[in-house]
Amino acid sequence: MTLDLDGADWTHQGKVRAREVAGELTLVVDGLTTQGKYYKPLIYEFFRKSWRGARPAWGEFEVDIFMDYVGEPPWMDLDNLAKALLDSIKGYAFHDDAQVGRLLVERRPGDRERIIILVRKRASGLLRRTLEG
């Protein structure tokens, strides 16, 4: 996946960058750590201080999480990474991580170490009807 990280449509703060294009939120965190708890305050502060994009929405979402690494893959459980990242974007991309109807988490070699999160709304209205009673 090739991302242009220098465009005017990106919001930057430290190691975190995000943009929203055609209904898809892309969030990039430069660098990797095996401590999943590191990401939550980092991303939370980005959204709190810098993000001026869309607010959380109801409905069902798809989330793709990519851990790009260089050299040997880091020793980290991808399910723990996914939980930490979903917790960190909850309240900004969607109201509750129960709204995620499709989740892909992948570790892959890349040209730099980073986390990429893609969030987009699903076409299905089933979850909303269920939550609204």
pLDDT tens sequence across 13-39? 999 999 999 889 999 999 988 788 889
**CATH of residue 35:** 3.30.1330.70
Distance separating alpha carbons of residues 18 and 9, to the nearest angstrom: 8
pLDDT of 76:
82
Domain coverage including residue 73: 11-131
Q: Is residue 83 situated within a structural domain?
A: yes
**Confidence category of residue 123, pLDDT binned at 50, 70, 90:** confident
Number of folded domains that form the chain: 1
Nearest alpha carbon to residue 129 among 93, 90, 101, 103: 101
Q: With contact defined as beta carbons under 8 Å apart, do 93 and 61 qualify? A: yes
* Range with the poorest average pLDDT among 34-38, 108-112, 117-121: 34-38
Q: Is residue 5 situated within a structural domain?
A: no
Q: Is residue 88 situated within a structural domain?
A: yes
Q: Is residue 2 situated within a structural domain?
A: no
Give the pLDDT confidence of 62-108 residue by residue, as tens digits: 999 999 999 998 888 899 999 999 999 999 999 999 999 999 999 99
Nearest alpha carbon to residue 24 among 1, 49, 45: 1
